Amino acid sequence: MLKQVQHDTVRTDWTRDEIAALFDLPFTELLFLAATVHRANHPPDQIQLCTLLSIKTGGCPEDCGYCSQSVKADSGVQATKLMEVQQVLQRAAQAKDAGSQRFCMGAAWRNPKDRDMPAIVEIVKGVRAMGLETCMTLGMLTSRQADMLAEAGLDYYNHNIDTGPEYYERVITTRRYEDRLDTLANVRAAGINVCSGGIVGMGETREDRVGFIHTLATLPQHPESVPVNALVPVKGTVLGDMLADTPLAKIDDIEFVRTVAVARITMPLSMVRLSAGRESMSEATQALCFLAGANSIFTGDKLLTAPNAGDDSDAALFAKLGLTALQGEEPIRACRVAEAAE
């Protein structure tokens, strides 16, 4: 039985049954509830703009079934070395000029080597000096590496759980679900904000999506950012080839919006980011996602190696919907700053 949802209450004791009950609500009722929770905690007409750059592409030894950067994939992605610091800073400056608030950087590693850390630290410091928020996704982190990033001033670390625990081994075999949770714990212990979400449309069931949301919503602290991706099936990847030309190749739009709405309700203060797969969504589907509580997007025409909607398209959509770029601090961080000051 679903308890009354309090619009201003952050809970970490959600049960799977409660989350499943949210998914099962009539669609219009679910959207109304999610929009009410969203309006109680966030500016309803503001969307956070983020930019994502691949600072080291391809050659990853992991076998993630969705990823074109895996050495197991026959996707045509060529492995590159870590970008030079100055190159990254130039791209960050361009992102800031385009209106981005956060600059996210990803490296296709299982985990960073200690020899890579000095350059990573220099990049973090340089991007922060521009007044941009910084986010890194580098794979698994040791507690020492997390501490180094925290000392450099890293604002966010992204490490997605990808899916629910029961479905995980059907997607990835080279890393355990617990490994991902351990990295999130190391990041949190270092005092870095957590960005963690996953991918829907990988052939999973609704029960798996319930498990995905449940894992995040019952962490000791909710992730400050929760990216929700729709699978972009890439030819040459395990999932891309397996789902090609099948009804599972694209998740139903309504079910995707339901997932966004349930994420918003269960994690009311988190930024819920509408991420990969957006370039293939209609304007109406994106609008429903924003109504359901998504309040962050990636800008630009590329996400690591996947296509993205593009700045001009986003500007036109924002104008049509009356949306503007987020100004100021995200609510969950502002609350913690206020609590620390008391």
Alpha-carbon distance values, 258 to 63, 66, 195, 248 (Å): 29, 22, 20, 17
Give the integer Cα–Cα distance in Å for 214 and 225.
15
Q: Which residue has the tokens 């020899």?
A: 115
Give the integer Cα–Cα distance in Å for 291 and 261.
9
Q: Which residue has the tokens 């970008």?
A: 83
The residues near 319 (Cβ < 8 Å, ≥ 6 apart) are none
Q: Which amino acid is at 199?
A: I
191 DSSP 8-state letter = T
Structure tokens, 145: 């590496």
248 DSSP 8-state letter = G
Alpha-carbon distance values, 118 to 22, 103, 125, 163 (Å): 45, 19, 11, 32
> Which residues is 104 bridged to in the sheet?
52, 135
Catalytic residues: 60, 64, 67, 104, 135, 195, 273
Q: Is 72 helix (H, G, I), strand (E, B) or coil?
A: coil
Buried-exposed string 73-98: b where 16+ CB fall within 10 A, e elsewhere: bebebeeeebbebeebbebbeebbee
Parallel, antiparallel or unpaired: strands 46-56 and 306-307: unpaired
Q: Which residue has the tokens 């060529």?
A: 78
Residue-level length of the chain = 342
Closest-CA residue to 73 (of 57, 52, 89, 90) = 57
Alpha-carbon distance values, 38 to 31, 82, 174 (Å): 10, 38, 37
